[in-house]
Amino acid sequence: MTSINFSTEKDRERAQARTGGKGKGKDDGLTPEQRRERDAKALQEKTAKKAAQASGGSDAGGKSNKK
């Protein structure tokens, strides 16, 4: 069992080295409320852009209806 725990610890160390030691936190300096507002605004912009593409008749999906 000890060798399994040791390799797991080594794997964690390697993974942390790859990510630059950031850890699990997503600390972007925003409160949860601010993060929700930012995400909601980004989602609205994304859906508006998709709606504009769909109504514009552009072929954003890459599919063709030609036979």
HEC secondary structure over the chain: CHHHHHHHHHHHHHHHHHCCCCCCCCCCCCCHHHHHHHHHHHHHHHHHHHHHHHHHCCCCCCCCCCC
Looking at residue 5, its pLDDT comes to 74
Q: Which residue has the tokens 């850890």?
A: 23
pLDDT in tens, 45-58: 999 999 999 988 65
pLDDT category at 6 given cuts 50, 70, 90 is: confident
Average pLDDT (4-13) is 82
Bigger pLDDT: 54 or 65?
Answer: 54
Q: What is the pTM of this model?
A: 0.43
